[in-house]
Structure 1
Amino acid sequence: MEIQHFCHDEHPLVFNEEERGGPRCWACNEPILGPSYSCIKCERYYHHKSCAELPRELQHPLHPKHPLILFNEMNFFKDKKYSKCEVCKQYRGQYTYGCSLCNFNLHNKCASLPLTIESEVHEHPLTRIWRSMKFTCDLCGKEGNVPYLCVPCNFCIHKSCTSYPRSVKAIRHDHLLHLTYSSLEVHQSVSQFCQLCVQKVDTDYGFYYCLSCDFVVHLDCAMDKENREDINLMKLKDGEYSELENEDLELDESNDSATYIVKKIIVSGDGIEIAKEIKHFSHEHDLKLIDEVENNKKCDGCLRAILPPFYSCVKCSFFLHKSCIELPRKKRHPLHRHSLTLFPKAPCRSMLFWCDACGQLCNGFTYKCNKCDFDLDVQCSLILDILTHKGHEHCLRLSSTRYSQKCDSCNFERSQGFRCITCEFVLDFKCATLPLTARYKQHEHPFILSYAAEDDSGEYYCDICEEERDPKQWFYYCAYCNYPAHPECILGKYPNFKFGVSYTFDCHPHPLTMIHKTKDHHACHKCDGPCDEEFFYQCVSCNFNVHTYKPNCTSCDFESFQVFRCITCEFHYTLNMLHYRILQGRNNTGTPSLLAMLLNMIPKNIIVIFVKNKTQCIDSTTMQIMENQHVCNNEHSLVFNEDERRGILCWACREPVLGPSYSCIKCNKFHHHKSCAELPRELQHPLHPKHSLILFAEWKRVCDKEYSKCEVCKEFLEEYTYGCSHCNFNLHSKCATLPLTIETEVHDHPLTRIY
C-alpha cells in the first residue's frame, strides 16, 4: 500500500505493517513501533500510520473562520523560530495545522485532542472546552487558555497536567508520594517547603505528599527524571517494595563485606585491637598503619592532605586515611536513583572522572553507578540530605532543581546544592566540601577558610594572584600574616587531583605517570600533537608521552585515539559509526548527506586487514568464487551470488547488499557482502597486540544481553565483531578493517589512520 504525501514529492510512502526500529516520526517526533509509512528509496520520511493519514485540511472549533492547512514546521520555518501553538503555547518542530491569514497555529497533536478523557488526577471525566479562555489550572496553579473541565466540580486543568500519575516514587524518600491538592491534609510544619528543591510549595494547588512523613514535593520536582524512581506502580502497593528490598539487601551485604583484609594486629595499652597491616582492594601491596605526619602528601582515596592515622605502602607513594580504608564498597546517595559502587580508579581509559556533584576533575576513588555514567568523589559522597556548615548559622538541605541555583559562596550556578529554608542561602557541593584548613607551598602557617570580610577597608585583594576579591565570597586567610587568598589560588586549579600517580595502559609496556605541564615541549606519541594541556602521562623510563584526553575530531569534536590524521596540518577526523555512514554518503538517518566524504580514491575491490601487526591488502577480484562455511551458519554453506540487487541487509554490517554477495540458499537468509563474508576469522590488531581477536556474530553471542561496546567508535551495535574474551576488548568488523590512508572532500591532504 502506498500514499503520496506532501512531505516528500519525489517518491510515494510505502506502508510497513510492523516497524520495530524505533525511528522518529516526521510528524510528531515520537518513536515508531508498529504500523508505519516511509520512503523505502530514500530510507527516511518515517511516519506513524495515523500521522501519515492526517487530513491535509481541517475545520477546527478554535478557529472557525478559516480552514487550517497541515504543514511541516521544519520545512516551513527553516531559518526562523517555530510557530507557537495556541493550545500548548510551545514552539515545536512538528506537523502543524495553520491559518496563514490569521497567523493561527495548532500542533497536530493539540488539534486532535479528544473531547473527553479519564485522568488519574480527578475522579470524574474531563471535557475539552474548545474555546480560548483564560483560566488558572487547579492542579499546577499556572494560567492557560484551552482547559479540560469537570462541570460538577468546576475543576479546570491544562491538558499537560492530566498526565500526572496518582502516585510517584522519589529517590530520596522511602514511601510512595500521592497526588494531593488540599492543604488540609498537610501538617503545618516545614512541609510547606519542597523536600527536593527546598523552595516553597503553594499547597492551595497540587503537590505530591507522604502523609506518614509529612514529606511535600512540587509536581515538577517529583516528575523530574533525576528525582524519580523507576518502578512499576501498577505492581507495587504502598509499603511493599520487593525490588527495592532486594537491592537494599544486596547493598547491606556489600556494606558488611570488608574492603580490606587484616594482615597484622597489635593491642594498644587499653586493650583495643588495632589493624597494623592490611591488604586493601585498591592497591597491590600491603599497607601499614602510620602515626607520623607526612608533609605535602595526599590521600589516594579522597585526595585531601594526609593526616594520621593513615595507612601507607612501604614500596610506593600510596596513602589512605583510616576513614577511606573503611569506606563501604556499595552505598546509596540521594543524588542518584541507583546504588553506587566504590572504584579505586575511574573505570575508563584515562582513569579520570568529573564528579557529578561538585563538577571537579578527580583521579581518586569514585562512587560510580554501573548502570549510568554517574560519578561521585569521596568528599561529595559523604554529604547526604542535610548539611551543617560553619559558614552558615542554619541547617542546609539538599536541593536538586531543573534550573541553576547561584552559590552564595562562589557565585557559580549549579542545579544541585544545599539551600537554607530560613534565609534562601545556597551552597554548592564544591564549596560545601572545601577543606576548613589548607597549606600553601612554603607558607609557615595554615590558611583558615573564612566566610566574611577580614576588615572594613573596602579594598579586598588576593595576595597570591593580586586580583580583586569579592568580599561576599568565601576565601582562605592567614590571620598571623594578614594574608587573604582565593580558594583556587590556595588549593590549585585541580584540588581533587594527585600528580605523580602511575597507571598501566595497553599503549605502552611501562607504567605511565601523570605529570604537570612544564615549559619543555612534549609530543604525544599516539597522535603526534603537542602535550600542551595542564597534565599528561609520561613514561619516566623511555620519555614516552601521551595525552590524558583523546584527540578531537575537527568536524564534530568527537574524542577518540583512533583517528584519521593529516600529518601536514594537524587535522583530525574520528570515525565513529555516524562518520562511517557519512563517509559512504549517508547521514545517521540513512539519507544522502550534503557533507558526503567520498572514498573514491580507495579501490572498491581492496579489503584492508591487519595480520600479525602488518597491513596487508587483499585484492578481492583474485578470490575464487566458492562455497564458504561461515561463522554465522554451521548447518549450511554460504553460496556466492555475483550480483545481488534486492538491497537485503547484510548480516555482518547491517548495510544493504547491492553487488557480489554470499547467502544460504537453503534458508534464504544469512545474506552477506562478499567482503564481509570473507573477513578473516582471526585477527592480530595493533590496538590490542596482546591477544588475537576472534570474529563472532554479536547478535548470536549476546542473545538478550546488551551488545558489546566497540573500542574505536564507542557504539553498541548489532553486527560482526572482533573480540578478545580474555580482556573484554571488542572492535566492530568495520572499525577493525579501516584503511590506513584515505582522501576526502573535507580536507586538502590525505588522512592517515593513527592507532
Structure 2
Amino acid sequence: MAYQSLALAQHLSFPALSSERARDMEVEHFSHPDHPLILINQVLEYSCELVLCSGCEGPIWGPCYSCTCCYFFLHKTCAVLPREIERRIHPRHPLHLLAKPPSHYTTCVCDRCRKTCNSFVYHCSFCEFDLDIKCAFQPGFFYVDSQAHQFAHKDHPLILNKEKEYHGEGVMCSVCKEPMSGPSYSCTSCNFFLHKKCAELPPEIKRHIHPEHPLRLLPNQDMICDFCNKTCYESFVYCCFFCEFNLHIKCAFPPCIDAADQNQRHQFRRLLNPLSFKSISFTCNACGTDGDGSPFMCTTCHLVVHEECISLPGTLETALHHHPRIIHTYHPQQCIESINKYCGICRREVDTEYGVYYCPDCEFVAHVKCSREYGDSATETAGENEEEHRVTVDDQFMEPSFRVVREIKHGEERIIQEIEHFSHQHNLILNDKVDDDLKCDGCMLPISTPFYSCVSCNFFLDKTCIELPRRKKWHYHENQLTLSWNRGSHHLYNCDVCNQDFRGLRYTCAICGLCIDVRCFKSILKDSFKHGGHEHPLYLPASRKNILRCNIGGRGLPPWAADDRENIPHCSGCCVSEESKVFFKCVVCDFKLGMKCATLPYKARHEYDDHPLVLTYINANDYQPSCIICEEDRDPRLWFYRCEECDFDAHPECALGKYPYVKLGVVSTYPKHPHPLAVVVKTEDYPACDTCGEPCDDLAVECTDPNCSFIVHRKRRQCYESLIW
C-alpha cells in the first residue's frame, strides 16, 4: 500500500503535461521545447504518409497534439505521461521519463521486453535501467476505450442472440471461458461466441479494493489476480497501469454485484482486528460515508461496510417523497437508468459510486443517512408484501372529482366530452376555442386548451384542474387533504402557502384547517420543479420540522417560514421576504423563489395594452426601466411583464392587479339586498360603505342596478356579513 501511495503521489506531482494545461488548445511539452503543440481532432494522413507518434512511435488515428512548424505529433495519452514513476521491476529507484534515450547510449534496449527504444523511455541514471513506455504501463495502455466485443473480435461483426440456448459440449464464451447459455453475441463466419454480459463489459471500472485508480479492461497475458492470487485464464482482465494491480473478470464482477434480487444475502466478515485497523480509513459501500473503525467485508462481492450498515433495511417508507417506498442499493448506476445527482431530502450531491436509497417509480434518490433520519413514518417492508407496497400514494386516494356524462372513442383514444364536476351546478362541455381574456375558475390562471366550460354560466375549468383527485396526500402534511369548493360566488380564502387571497378550488385539511390554493398545490406536489426564471431545478427545503403537524384549533402552517421571521430569505424574483410563507431553493446556487413569484402566470392581460404581456426575467436593453402603468421606476434585477411589440413594461402587481386570483365582476344574490351584487375593486372615487360609512377603497361588493348605489366592503367581515344575516 505504501508503494502504491508513493507511486500515485509522484504521478500526480510530476506530470509531463498538467491536466489543466492539457485542456487548452495550445500547450508546451518538455519533449518539444522549441514550439507549442496544438490539439487537433483527428489525423489520418499527413503528406500521404502514416502519422506516427513521436513518443511511442505508434500510429495516430484520432485526436493528438501537433506542432505547426515541425513534423512532430503526440498521442493525447503520451502527452500526459507522468514524469516520474516507480515500478516493482525496479524498486530501488524511481524512473524518469526522457524524450530520447541518454546521449551516451549507442543503443537503448528495454530491460523488460528487450526491444530497442528510440523515443520516450523511462530511465534510472543510477542503474542504467530502462523501460519503454508500453512496458511501463502494461500492454493496452494506448488502446482506445471500448467495450469487450469491439476489440475481442475485430474481423467480423457480432450478432446478438437474445434467447438462444447452447447445449452442445465445447461451446464456450471466448472471454470468460465458461459454457454458453442465455443471451449472447456470435460471429456467423467463425466459431466465436460471447455471453451478452461479457461482450458488454465496461472499458473502465472503479473498485473499492483498489480505490487509488480506475481499472481498465485489457487483453490478458497470463496475469495473476491480486484479489484471489490465481492465474487469470480469461481473455481479458482489469488492470491498473500505475500500480500493476490486476483483477480477473470473476473477481471484478462477483455474483452479488449484478444481483437484481433485493433479498440477496451478503456474507459479511470483519476485515481486520479492530486494534490493528484503527489507523486505516475506508468509505462504506452501503452509505457512502467515511469510516475509521474496523469494517466488515462481504466475502462474495467485496463490499466494505460499517458494522451498523450490515442491517440496513432494504425498503423504507418516507413522508418526504410522494411515492411511498424507497429501496436501498449498493450500485445505483446498475439500478437506475436516469440518475439524479442530488439527494431528494437534503439536496446535496449524491455520489453514485456508493449505496443510496432510490424510488423505483421516479428519479428520486437520497443519501442513506437522510433516508433513515427523516423516518418518523418510515417502516421496513417485508418481501412478501412488496407488490402491495408498490401502490403509490396517489393511487390510494384516486377518487375523481368529476363524473363522466358523455364520451366518444377516437381509435384507441377515449375523449370525455361532457362531465359533471362537484364544483358547479351545471354540466361542463369540452372546449378547444380559447379567448385570451378567459381565466380558469379553479386556479384563476389564464385558461389553456383543452378546457371545460358551462354553456349557461361564465364558468371554466382547465384540464389540469379537472383531473385533480378529490383526496390527495401531500408529503409535507401528515393527513390527507380534500379538494373543496364553496358555491358562494363571492367567498374568498387565504392560501396558507403563498399568503394571497383567492377564489377557486382548494385543498383543505379537515383536522387543522390548512388551506392551499390548487395553483400552489400543483407546484409543490413534486420534490422539485423547473421554472423558466432559473436554469437549475428548485425544491422545497426538507427537514424533519417541515412535515406539517395538524394542530386542532389552529392552522398547520409551514414551520420553516411561519415563526422565525428574521431568517426568512428574500425572494430572487421580487426581493420581498414577507409575502410568501414557502420558499423554493436552488440545488446548485443561492437562488430562492417565494411561492407568490413561483406561481405567477406566464401571460397576463391589461387594459392599457392590446396584446398579452409576457412574464420577463431579464432585459439586456433595460437602461432606464419604468412601469408604464404606475409610471414609477422598476428595479432591473426583478421580474416584470412586457409586451415586446409595444415596448410596454409593468410591475407584476400593476399588470395583474391587487387580487389576481379573485374573479371580478361575478354576480350573486343575497337575502338582505333586492338586487344582484358584483364583486369589484375600487381604485378611485371611493364611495362610502353602506354598513360602516367608511370609503370603499379596496375589494367591495357593489349593486349592479344603475339606479342603486349600494356598496359594502368585501374584506371587512362585519360589513359583508350584514348581507347574509
Instruction: Please give the TM-score of this superposition, normalised by the length of structure 1.
Output: 0.41
Q: Which has the higher strand share?
A: 1
Instruction: Please give the TM-score of this superposition, normalised by the length of structure 2.
Output: 0.43
When Rg is computed on C-alpha atoms for both structures, the one with the higher figure is 2
